[in-house]
Amino acid sequence: MDAFLDFLQNGALNGLAPGAAALLLAMSLLGSFITASLGLGGGILLLAVMASFMPAAALIPVHGVIQLGSNFFRAVVLLGRVHWKPVGAFLLGSIAGVAIGGSVAIQLPPAVVRIAVGAFVLWSVFRKPPAWLSRAALPTGLISSILTMFFGATGPFVAAYTKSLTLPRQEHVATNAVLMTVQHLLKTATFAVLGFAFGPWALFIAAMIAMGFIGTLLGKQVLMRFSDRGFKRALDILLVLIALRLVVTGVLALI
């Protein structure tokens, strides 16, 4: 506890106040708890809160490496449940996606991206996913990795693809964690190559990942208590809420 207090009192990074650091650490735990329980949601929640306190230039890179750690530990905790078949194709698509996203000089309009992702997620919930979607690991990796370089949290887009695989609840969360680990690893490497300095944020990132790991362990206990039917219902509800928020905020931004 003393070390934690010292971090908050003396470890303000790049102007990040102790109170803001404490809130973000709590949100990292909560976000990982939500994602470990339902498969998604925590990344977007954390990104929204981080956006209120962090410099815009650091937001996406720092969020990406925190999510890398969070998803990696989630994948490790549930490693025996991973459905490995789509990972290779998703990796190839993601490599191309971050390369394209990292080379684009003009940023995609965030409002348009939000509406498009939200609409796709709503379609995936209310329409039975077509058979081809479950075979679309490569284009899913490509498109989501391009978007994540600008938008940050494209978990709902990837989760919609994972949902089309119709996996049991633990396999869904484990597989989605591996896919998102791949994507965030490539994104982090790309930002490093592009020159973003992660060093000044290293202590903060480590603390956020540690809190996220605690959240993952707690969320796993909730996941174990879900039935597959209850999990799918909760997942659909969360997908709809996130998608509606994306569409509404996107439309308001355009207006």
Question: 98 or 147: which carries more pLDDT confidence?
Answer: 98
pTM assigned to the model = 0.77
Number of domains in the chain: 1
> Please, how many CA atoms are within 13 Å of residue 254, restricted to the half-sphere of its CB?
13
How confident is the model over 196-243, as pLDDT tens digits? 888 888 888 999 999 988 988 888 888 777 777 777 787 778 778 878
Q: Which helix (H) or strand (E) holds 177?
A: helix 169-193
Joined tokens for residue 232: 């799918």
**Could you give the 3-state DSSP secondary structure of residue 107?**
coil
Domain containing residue 174? 2-254
- DSSP secondary-structure letter at 105? S
Q: Cα torsion at 146, 149, 150, 154 (round to 10°)?
A: 70
Q: Look at residue 13 and tell me whether its pLDDT is greater than 60.
A: no
Distance CA 78, CA 33 (A): 14
How confident is the model over 157-177, as pLDDT tens digits? 788 888 888 888 889 889 999
**Mean pLDDT computed over every residue of the chain:** 81
- Residue 224 neighbours by CB under 8 Å, 6+ apart: 170
Q: Residue 137 CB: number of other CB atoms within 10 A?
A: 24
Distance CA 168, CA 112 (A): 33
